[in-house]
Amino acid sequence: MSESTSVASLSIKDLTVRYKTSRGVLTAVDHVSLDIEPGKTLGLVGESGCGKSSLGRTIVGLQRADSGSMHLGQQDLGRLVDGASKRDRRAVQMIFQDPLSALDPRQRIGRALATPLAVHGIGTRAERRAKVEAALADVGLPADSVSRLPHELSGGQRQRVNIARALILEPALVVCDEPVSALDVSLQAQVLNLLSDLQQRHGMAYLFISHDLAVIGHLADSIAVMYLGAIVERLPRERLWNGALHPYTQLLIDSVPRTSRSAGKQSRIASMDGDLPSAYSMPSGCRFRSRCPHAMPRCATQSPELNERAPGHSVACHLYADDAPDSRHPVRKAQTNASSEPLNLAFDGHP
């Protein structure tokens, strides 16, 4: 990988993405700001329909942003939709969710991997053939895979081909959109370990999109939690299971099956039910308030800002405001009332 791509970092500022439909205007991504350091993995987690894939598609240039900015080093990723150079397009690649539909069923694997090289004018035919063989070896596939069609491979092998195709252009950033959700559980760990190994060898950054906290917790260096198009919490991986602050993050944690949970311990998930608000009409104030058992009057009128509460850990929640009542403020409540259980519960460990 070249030096110019290996040191590039992703910076997104105030990004908004909307879709015009027959029902009206849907806000999929709402003023999102985030960054990913070179060689690191940011896990993006949230329920289906929260805007994760829309954000990923916008980063790689498959969807146009309505406002905001995206830069990978000095490259303006907003130009990918229009007249970006081939070099700019090489820097960002994507691994899609369904390994079969992401491949042309009539195109042999060797050609599927060689096509990106040919489009970008990389190497002679012999050099491209050598790069294809090296890419297959890199993801653990035999050299004779070049002559096979996608239906002749297993699901795990097809996803390895998609990974090889994404990496063959030596990108600085790879957007992984639910890359293991379509695989059997027995294959998921293999692909996750492969992605981790490839990152260590080649140094690219990952935006890893998933609804599965267990998967995110295995691979990501840091985690961004998305709800109705907005980032509501950003935290390091080591704080995920026993340091999450936002009630929505805790709802997601409670939804992860854990055999270590005691039979008598009541989950908080039952107290946070209710319908997901419509993205066509965002609620006033905090967008999570209709499902939050800790909602206060200000939550209906004031939208909480994403503020840092600890190094590398930011949360958008009025519970953590300095002027929150002592009875509501999780930190002060834990300090002044030893008999009460703080909002930020400690869990038994990684599920």
List beta partners, residue 230. Answer: 227
- Both 197 and 267 in one domain: the answer is no
For residue 246, which of 43, 11, 56, 46 has the smallest C-alpha distance? 46
Indicate whether 184 pLDDT > 90: no
Indicate whether 336 pLDDT > 60: no
23-54 core/surface letters (b: 16 or more CB in 10 A; e: else): eeebbbbbbbebbbebbbbbbbbbeeebbbbb
Quote the Cα angle for 55-5-171, to 5°. 55
- Both 158 and 245 in one domain: the answer is no
- Both 210 and 243 in one domain: the answer is no
Q: For residue 268, is it within any domain?
A: yes
* CATH classification at residue 112: 3.40.50.300
Six token digits for residue 340: 């009460």
The last residue of one of the domains, among 168, 200, 220, is 220
Residue 272, pLDDT score: 53
Q: For residue 276, is it within any domain?
A: yes
Residue 85, pLDDT score: 58
pLDDT in tens, 185-234: 888 989 999 999 999 999 999 999 998 898 898 899 999 999 999 999 99
- Both 208 and 65 in one domain: the answer is yes
pLDDT confidence band for 344 (50 / 70 / 90): very low
Q: For residue 344, is it within any domain?
A: no
Segment 144-159 mean pLDDT: 95
Residue 87, pLDDT score: 67
- Cα(278)–Cα(96) distance, integer angstroms: 26
Q: For residue 292, is it within any domain?
A: yes
- DSSP one-letter string for 104-121: -TTS-HHHHHHHHHHHTT
- Both 197 and 263 in one domain: the answer is no
Q: For residue 177, is it within any domain?
A: yes
pLDDT in tens, 8-61: 799 999 999 999 999 999 999 999 999 999 999 999 999 988 999 999 999 999
The last residue of one of the domains, among 189, 220, 251, is 220
The last residue of one of the domains, among 187, 220, 253, is 220
Residue 337, pLDDT score: 42
Residue scoring higher pLDDT (276 or 178): 178
Owner of token pair 């596939």:
141
pLDDT in tens, 82-134: 765 566 778 999 999 998 999 999 999 999 999 999 999 999 999 999 999 99
Q: Please report the sign of the dihedral spanned by the C-alpha atoms of residue 318, residue 320, residue 321, residue 323.
A: positive
pLDDT in tens, 272-328: 566 678 888 888 999 999 999 899 999 999 999 999 999 999 999 999 987 776 656
- Both 32 and 55 in one domain: the answer is yes
Segment 151-171 mean pLDDT: 95
Q: For residue 343, is it within any domain?
A: no
Q: Structure pTM?
A: 0.87
pLDDT confidence band for 157 (50 / 70 / 90): very high
Give me the helix-helix angle, 155-167 and 109-119, nearest 10°: 20
- Cα(306)–Cα(231) distance, integer angstroms: 8
Rg (the chain; Cα; Å): 22
Segment 235-245 mean pLDDT: 94
pLDDT confidence band for 262 (50 / 70 / 90): very low
- Both 216 and 234 in one domain: the answer is no
Q: Which domain holds residue 71?
A: 3-220
- Cα(156)–Cα(141) distance, integer angstroms: 10
How many structural domains are present in the chain? 2
